[in-house]
Amino acid sequence: MLSTGYEGVREIEKRLTNTVGWSATSGQVDNWVYEEANTTFIQDEQMLNKLMNTNPNSFRKLVQTFLEANGRGYWETSEDNIEKLRQLYSEVEDKIEGIDR
């Protein structure tokens, strides 16, 4: 999926954004869809690092979209997942701004 590199990350982010849109309009997106996406793109450290390093701006939007899905009640997940997403958002913001931790 990431063979296209920079654009591949953007495509992943767009699909998650569309999923939130489906949740908003139809209410028919099952929780497992978000859980699987989170497991694939956030919980897998190797994938997470590849996404963040290939296209930090799209990765930031991906993380923001996961947080939005939870905040709107479309995705119920553990507080640990939410805290990790908040931490990642801060990390990717620093990366984009050129701030070393």
Q: Tens digits of per-residue pLDDT, 4-37?
A: 578 899 999 999 999 999 999 999 999 999 999 9
Query: 94: closest CA among 66, 62, 52?
Result: 52
Structural domain that includes position 84: 2-97
Let me know how many helices (H) and strands (E) the chain has, helices first. 5, 0
CA distance 98 to 3: 26
In total, how many domains does the chain have?
1
pLDDT of residue 99: 82
Q: Tens digits of per-residue pLDDT, 38-95?
A: 999 999 999 999 999 999 999 999 999 999 999 999 999 999 999 999 999 999 999 9
At residue 78, what is the residue type? S
Helix %, strand %, coil % of the chain (to 5): 80, 0, 20
Half-sphere exposure of 4 (CA within 13 A, CB side): 7
